[in-house]
Amino acid sequence: MKIKESDFEFFKKLKIKSAIDLALLLPKKIENLNPSKNPKENEICTQKITIKSVSSRKNQLFGLGFCEEWQENISFVFFHPRAWHFGICKVGKGLIFNAKLSRFNHTWQFNNPKILTSFEGFSPKYQILGLKDAKIAAFIHKYLNYENLQESGIGDKYIHFLLNLHA
């Protein structure tokens, strides 16, 4: 497997010595960041909310919004919000929230949601300290291919199996 010199240090951090090692580097979990079709209690949901009102009290930022997809009013709460949260949660703005959904006062509520920039599909989480998941996924996409696995001397059926793990 031919590795660019600039990428060599990253491979050392991952402790990868061959294309097979790279193919066997699997995520610890996969997050589903697709929009949720329906609200589901006590499950992690992702949906775009248009903010109708915002208030704060005692290290908490509360808000009420409307979800076009679900045709429901949605409340949200951030615990220990930063100035960034106050800056981004403005009335009339549409935000994509990803969090556990629960019922509170007969309203669906996102508890301490992550704010996403877009619906990102399925996101692998490798949970390797000091390395970003997106960079690991980019390296796998860049270096894991048929030719590199064939150089390792494994059979075609195993190559296709390993490639399908990352498809």
Q: pLDDT in tens for each of the 167 residues of the chain?
A: 778 888 888 888 888 888 899 999 999 999 999 999 999 999 999 999 999 999 999 899 999 999 999 999 999 999 999 999 999 999 999 999 999 999 998 999 999 999 999 998 888 999 888 889 989 999 999 999 999 899 988 999 999 999 998 87
| The overall pTM is greater than 0.95 | no
For residues 86 and 141, membership in a common domain is answered with no
For residues 65 and 112, membership in a common domain is answered with yes
For residues 61 and 21, membership in a common domain is answered with no
- Domains identified in the chain, total number: 2
**Beta carbons within 10 angstroms of residue 125's beta carbon:** 13
Q: Residue 86: give the domain boundaries.
A: 33-116
For residues 108 and 40, membership in a common domain is answered with yes
DSSP alpha helices (H): ranges in the chain? 5-14, 19-23, 83-88, 133-143, 146-151, 156-165
For residues 80 and 152, membership in a common domain is answered with no
For residues 98 and 136, membership in a common domain is answered with no
Tokens 């491979």, residue? 11
For residues 56 and 101, membership in a common domain is answered with yes
Taking Cα atoms as reference points, which of 165, 163, 123 lies closest to residue 143?
163
For residues 74 and 91, membership in a common domain is answered with yes
> Is 121 domain-assigned?
no
HSE-CB for 55 with a 13 A CA cutoff: 4
d(CA 137, CA 140): 5
